[in-house]
Structure 1
Amino acid sequence: MTGSPAWARKQLADALKEARERCGLSIKDAAKALAVDSSKISRIENNDWKLPSLRYVDDALTVYQVTDPKRREQLLIWAEEGRQKGWWEEYRDVLDPTLLGYEAEASAIRTYEALLVPGLLQTPAYAEAVFRGGQAVDDGLIARRIEARLARKRTLERDTPPSFYAVIDEAALRKHVGGPEVMREQIQHLVTMADRPNIIIQIMPDAVGAHAGMSGPFTVLEYSTSSGAPAVVHLETAAGDFYVEERDAVERYGRRHGHLCGSALDATVSARYLWDLVGQLK
């Protein structure tokens, strides 16, 4: 088991599409051969499914002429794993399960935040203040979101956690989200997290001026070479969560994060900056 049904479904969807295209079948022809509607194949290849059918996958591999036993076995394993439920499924009412599934399998996570502390590094009090955000939100819903946010931190606490590289704009730390005490606790938490060997936190100072992150926050999720999974970019907007998968675009975001790391204070100076900020909030 990979531990991430969402990740397994994504790999399976991509593999089935690749197999169909390699054998030269159009969606219409594949649908006819499999005795299903064309829209079903389109949904599957767009990863718009919840529980993959083992029988369908097996039939599709035959129609798509996937004869390598090891390859067939791998795709059927993904189909079986994709039928399971990850721990995050219970939070799909308040968080995007696709993101949680991607995070659960990532070997490296590179993120940039302009106005907020990254979600994986937020304290409960800070998260609550963010969720309220001056809006009239039901207390029960806020509690549910906080619970989900804390559960999401399992990503950084698993046995083999991903490398986590966060560039946080100084503006995010100067904003008194929840008030001085909440911010003090939050920044102290950043200092603690930065001590972990798999986590690097860099601060982007205002003095830098224009930089590579001016167009907004983003997160690049990368996977081990052995997994065969391509990197994905996550963009969180008011209209919902979006994922960039086109290789050239993902590489551009990767380079952008590299430029941000080069412009920001290095990890050691950033740690001193955070400690100084804690002192100012006493």
Structure 2
Amino acid sequence: MPKRFSSVVGRSFGDGVRDAIRSTGLTQRQIAELLDWEEAKLSDLVNGKGGVTEVELAMLLGLCRVPAEDARYLLALFRESREKGFLVFPEDGIPDQVRSLIDQERLANKITIWSMNVIPGPLQIPDYIRALIERSVRAKTVNAEEVVAAKTARQGIFHYSRDFIFYVHEQALRLPVGSPKVMQDQLLHLLAMGNRNYITMRVVPSSFGAHAGLSGSFRLLNYEKYEPVVFTETENTSLFVEDKASLTTYVDVLKLLDGQALDAEQSKELITSILA
């Protein structure tokens, strides 16, 4: 069965509509009957596939008594929901803490992450996260413990039902972040996580020189039902990339990294040697 197109913003919009319906205490069928809609029409809407006009959406939001601010947000998402790409300006200034990313990771059945400078976010231990925050440009503007808690909570995505492949540059393993004890604990954590049969760790050695991932870190999310998505981030923004030409480029980067990185066992040996 071909995968259907449902954009990231469309799925985020659908989640918002689903929450609005849930807040009424009514079922989707009951809501559809009140609006004189087919239940399938409402189902398509909450699954991020559109199928309604802006006026019809306004009727639904009014029926669900959605607060004005939330309604404006959902209407804005609705207008963007057929765009292949989603630029996010997070309110807390921490690009990694985007609710949409969390939602998309939970839907994915395979996550591939390339990290050039630091340990990949899902594999970071709390003290490592704190040390990164202390040296970041936002050290004085964010609540460090809230960020640590949010990032740590995201690690709940680890489950045998989805596969994880991490490509990490050797410089990320050797870059001192926090105290020597923090780095020791962090590398030991990498080794422990790498022993899970659904996690593959691949290190790109410094000795290889220039490599395919020099343009920056990113993650590729693959889904059983949807087309894949790439997520990238900067200091102030996060971007979901969905157009086929761009996706092909990122996939090609990963194919090259696959040939440039050490295999899983060699990668574990390198991490162990750094710990020695």
| Partner Cα separation in structure 2 for residue 207 and residue 266 of structure 1 | 15
Following superposition, the deviation at residue 255 of structure 1 comes to 1.9
Greater relative CO (CA pairs within 8 A, separation 6+): 2
The aligned residue for residue 163 of structure 2 is: 163
What SS is found at the alignment partner of 1:203?
strand
The aligned residue for residue 133 of structure 1 is: 135
| Partner Cα separation in structure 2 for residue 167 and residue 12 of structure 1 | 27
The aligned residue for residue 111 of structure 1 is: 113
* TM-score, normalisation: structure 2: 0.69
Taking the TM superposition and a 5 Å limit, the aligned residue runs for 1:177-192 are: 177-192=177-192
Q: Which amino acid aligns with 1:269?
A: Q
Following superposition, the deviation at residue 276 of structure 1 comes to 1.1
Unaligned runs of 5+ in 2: 1-5, 22-27, 49-63, 65-89
Following superposition, the deviation at residue 51 of structure 1 comes to 3.1
The aligned residue for residue 200 of structure 1 is: 200
Structure in which a larger fraction of residues adopt helix: 1
Unaligned runs of 5+ in 1: 1-8, 15-45, 84-90
Distance 1:248 1:143, change over 3 A: same
| Partner Cα separation in structure 2 for residue 50 and residue 276 of structure 1 | 48
What SS is found at the alignment partner of 1:51?
helix
Distance 1:276 1:12, change over 3 A: closer
Following superposition, the deviation at residue 129 of structure 1 comes to 0.6
1:153 to 143, 155, 160: 155
Aligned pairs, number: 218
1:101 aligns with 2:99: no
The aligned residue for residue 19 of structure 1 is: none
1:258 to 229, 237, 255: 255
* TM-score, normalisation: structure 1: 0.68
Distance 1:146 1:232, change over 3 A: same
Distance 1:262 1:154, change over 3 A: same
Q: Is the 8 A contact 2:119 2:173 kept in 1?
A: yes
Q: Is the 8 A contact 1:10 1:47 kept in 2?
A: no
What SS is found at the alignment partner of 1:167?
strand
What SS is found at the alignment partner of 1:233?
strand
Q: Is the 8 A contact 1:114 1:171 kept in 2?
A: yes
Q: Is the 8 A contact 1:211 1:263 kept in 2?
A: yes
Query: How far does the alpha carbon of each residue in 1:238-276 deviate from its partner, in whole angstroms, 9 at most, with x for none?
Result: 131111110221122112112112101100100111111
1:51 aligns with 2:17: yes
What SS is found at the alignment partner of 1:117?
coil
Q: CA RMSD in A?
A: 3.4
The aligned residue for residue 83 of structure 2 is: none
What SS is found at the alignment partner of 1:183?
helix
Q: Is the 8 A contact 1:232 1:243 kept in 2?
A: yes
| Partner Cα separation in structure 1 for residue 133 and residue 32 of structure 2 | 44
What is the percent sequence identity of the aligned residues? 26
| Partner Cα separation in structure 1 for residue 15 and residue 185 of structure 2 | 41
Distance 1:163 1:48, change over 3 A: closer
